[in-house]
Amino acid sequence: MPSAKRPDRSGPPPRPARSTGAAGSAGPFTSLDFQLVLLRRMADHNPDLVDDARRKLGVSAADMREANRRWQAMLHAPRGRAAASRYRSVLGTPESVTERRIGDLTCEAWQWPLPLWPDLRFEVLVAQKGAVWNEWLVRAPGAPAPELRTSADLRPWCCTVDEVARAFAPARPLEGTAPTRWGLSFTAADAEGVRRECAAEFTWGLLQRVSVTGQPR
């Protein structure tokens, strides 16, 4: 009887499993996965920027979809963590915790760095008993803000909600199309100096696109 053929072991060794959760649902949900969640929502407006960012992180489009699926499952789990606890479990201890007063109410601003946006921080406003009031990207303390003088300066991903609101005051909030989206309406000069009504759209607090909505003023 012929002996069994031995397997060929001359080929390359199998790739080791990644230690991050982005490789599959079995791993922990990490800061990398959370960055993919942010990108997944931004892909609706700027797919090319998202593809470039995803390649920098070394993950596939399937990894991004899987991270978003797992995040949504955590959000809607019957016995899921409170929002504030969920962010701590995914992002770790905040880089900074600052008391902040909004009107007559006091909350804490928790901020974390994200490698994909080194000049920004992910900020969560946490009220009593862990309730989350807001969650978005803001400029990192000490990082230079962009100069926003005309609508031509408003490039995707260059600035945040509060930066546009200050640069083109008085800006009016617009209703977003999803919980993680915001809008602002304002008047800004174009590249020729003509003032026009504009509308800006943001995802997770980061500018995605600007459209001219009105006639010259």
Cis peptide before 12 (omega within 30 of 0): no
- Rounded to 10 degrees, the C-alpha dihedral 54/65/176/166 comes to -20
Identify the CA nearest to 168 among candidates 146, 184, 182: 184
Tell whether the model's pLDDT for residue 148 goes beyond 70: yes
Kindly tell me the burial class for residue 149, based on how many C-beta atoms sit within 10 Å of its own C-beta (0-12, 13-18, 19 or more). Answer: exposed
pLDDT of residue 5: 42
Tell whether the model's pLDDT for residue 26 goes beyond 90: no
pLDDT (mean) for 62-80: 88
Mean pLDDT for the chain overall: 86
Tell whether the model's pLDDT for residue 146 goes beyond 90: yes
- Pick the more confident residue, 1 or 42: 42
How does pLDDT run across 7-18, given as a tens digit for each residue?
444 444 333 333
pLDDT (mean) for 135-143: 96
**Residue-level length of the chain:** 217
